[in-house]
Amino acid sequence: MKFLGIENFRLTDRNKANGDAVFEVGDHLAKADFNFYLQGEDCLSIRLGRHDVSLKTDELEAFLKDNMLNIRKLVKPEVERVRRERREQMNSPS
């Protein structure tokens, strides 16, 4: 199982975002839904959501535990981007 990155990062609530973590498993790609808990521009915690059956839950949870800090750093620019887009959307005249 090799981590390739996060796709489709989106705000789902005021302080929550979701993204699809993409993994290479053997000769195919598999996705796992990661739930990101936010405070301002920072990611405080990440939880595992639904995932492809080719990915084992315990392996994904171990991956999150071992790589939490790096993933939080990886998504920080995405958090800033989606927050900025949300502010622009709210401030634009309809």
Phi, psi of 47, deg, nearest 5: -125, 150
Residue 7 to residue 60: CA distance in whole angstroms: 17
35-93 pLDDT, tens digit each: 999 998 899 999 999 999 999 999 999 999 999 999 999 999 999 999 999 889 888 77
User: Residue 94: pLDDT band by 50, 70, 90 thresholds?
Assistant: low
Q: Are the CB atoms for 43 and 72 separated by under 8 Å?
A: yes
Instruction: Give whole-number Cα distances, 74 to 9, 19, 28, 43, in Å.
Output: 11, 12, 23, 10
Whether residue 31 has pLDDT greater than 80: yes
